[in-house]
Amino acid sequence: MSAAQLMDIPELSLTASQDEYAAARQKSWVGKSVRGFEVLTFDQGWEIMSSKEFDIGGGFGVVLDAVGLTSGPYREEWDKQIVCTEGELRTKMRQPYQRLLKPQQVAKLQGDVRAMIHGILDDIEDPTDVDFMAQIAWRLPTQLYCELISAPREMAPWIGRVTESINPPLLMLDKQRLPESEAAYWEGLEFIEKHIDEKRKNLGDDFTSELIRCELEGLISHDEVKTVAMSLLIASMDNTLHQIGLTFGTLLEDRSRWEQVLAKPTAAPQAAEETYRLCPRFGVIARHASKDIEVNGFTFPANNWIWISTRSGGRDESKFEDANSFKMGRPASRALMFGSNHYSCLGATLARLEITETMKIIAERFPNIHLKEDWRKVEGPMVSECEHLRVSLV
């Protein structure tokens, strides 16, 4: 790449505003930041995510390095996780997830998920004043996790506390919470090890038993059962619950959006996809160039990180008409944040099920849901969190 090419592309902060992204897109489809290159447009982002030319350079390891977790037993545990692997090992470790979480399997959970959501809503004592995150968003994924691994539902609050402490500090690059993250990891691992040992004595119809069957069939090793089970604990809840919050915050901040959902409740999945476009949990998807790779006339030099900005790509005016507006009925387009192909989010269908069923049931039971005050989200360099969402259901 020429020095001139590099100088021409816009520079962006890791938490650029939508106005800054829009201005940058006027100049170029690619920008640069302190962490590498930032891909600003939808089609190029999708092309790069789908391309086998790019790898993930050790994946989540780059986040662990950035937060200062570079060595020691906790880092060694993370290095075993699928998010830190590449190549044949990653492909092998994806197999049990693909078996457990393939769309056809997830579809069978619809009844259970609907029952859980109804139960969560029935438990709300004062529908006029609801902490949406604590009373709804947190409860669904944690209860569902307990159901999927056949753990007592009473464990859901503990599961929630542990999962909130392991991954979010890392995703938010919060170095001060690193000790908390590590302590929670060991606590979670102790639970997982005991849980697996119990399941070995009596296999059932649950995720953990299925992982053990994968081991018995030779798909994964004895240790990998524990690793995969840990990754389900780590990764299956905080992303979904924050997206539930981000989705409802996005829908409710402008009443006309929620009215569109009410007018066509059968199209709730499309409404959800619009919220993923406008307000994605994952602000970036990482790729790595191990060699010089040309895309759309631009050469990414070898040994560089490429960050596909879902926040920018989702508002790409060259792809989406009236890009900042919420419109159901747009031509279907895939949410960037779930990734693509061999690095795609293995839990995407399950997350979609939880979010769309929550939307449908709240629309059925509480069509007058509204914000009691402004909601708040926090946009970190990697992810967005829903920090505050207070609603009245009636």
Partner 1 sequence: MSGIIVTTREGVEHRLDGQAGMSVMEIIRDAGLDELLALCGGCCSCATCHVYVDDEAVDALPEIMGDESDLLDGSDHRNDRSRLSCQLIYSDALAGLRIRIAPED
Among 2, 104, 176, 256, binds partner 1 (CB under 8 A): 104
Residue 273 binds partner 1, judged by CB under 8 A: yes
Nearer to partner 1, 5 or 270 (CB): 270
The closest alpha carbon to 378, from 161, 200, 162, 133, belongs to: 133
d(CA 249, CA 391): 10
Judged by CB under 8 A, which stretch of 76-84, 107-115, 246-254, 382-390 contacts partner 1? 107-115
Own/partner long-range contacts of 202-209 (Cβ < 8 Å, ≥24 apart): 204/150, 206/148, 206/149, 206/150, 207/100, 207/148, 207/149, 207/232, 208/149, 208/150, 209/150
The residue written with tokens 């390891």 in the block is: 61
Residue 359 binds partner 1, judged by CB under 8 A: no
Among 353, 361, 382, 393, binds partner 1 (CB under 8 A): 353
| Sequence-separated (6 or more) residues with CB below 8 Å from residue 134 | none
**27 touches 10 (CB < 8 A):** yes
Shortest spacing between CB 274 and partner 1, in angstroms: 8
Nearer to partner 1, 286 or 350 (CB): 350
Residue 207 binds partner 1, judged by CB under 8 A: no
Residue 110 binds partner 1, judged by CB under 8 A: yes
Among 233, 335, 359, 391, binds partner 1 (CB under 8 A): 335
Contact track, partner 1, 240-269, x by CB under 8 A: ------------------------x-xx-x
Among 116, 170, 244, 272, binds partner 1 (CB under 8 A): 272
Among 1, 23, 107, 134, binds partner 1 (CB under 8 A): 107
Shortest spacing between CB 174 and partner 1, in angstroms: 31
Nearer to partner 1, 54 or 338 (CB): 338
Residue 334 binds partner 1, judged by CB under 8 A: yes
Nearer to partner 1, 108 or 222 (CB): 108
Phi, psi of 271 (to 5 degrees): -60, -40
Among 3, 7, 34, 332, binds partner 1 (CB under 8 A): 332
Shortest spacing between CB 110 and partner 1, in angstroms: 7
Nearer to partner 1, 23 or 107 (CB): 107
Among 239, 356, 358, 384, binds partner 1 (CB under 8 A): 356
Shortest spacing between CB 331 and partner 1, in angstroms: 9
Among 170, 285, 348, 382, binds partner 1 (CB under 8 A): 348
Shortest spacing between CB 99 and partner 1, in angstroms: 10
d(CA 310, CA 338): 10
Residues 74-103 contacting partner 1, CB under 8 A = 98, 102-103
Burial (Cβ within 10 Å: 0-12, 13-18, ≥19) of residue 306: buried
Residue type for position 238: D
Among 29, 248, 305, 338, binds partner 1 (CB under 8 A): 338
Residue 210 binds partner 1, judged by CB under 8 A: no
∠ CA 97-101-107 to the nearest 5 degrees? 170
Residue 316 binds partner 1, judged by CB under 8 A: no
Using CB under 8 A, count the residues that bind partner 1: 27
CB atoms within 10 A of CB 142: 26
> What residues line the site for partner 1 (CB under 8 A)?
98, 102-108, 110, 264, 266-267, 269-273, 332-335, 338, 348-349, 352-353, 356
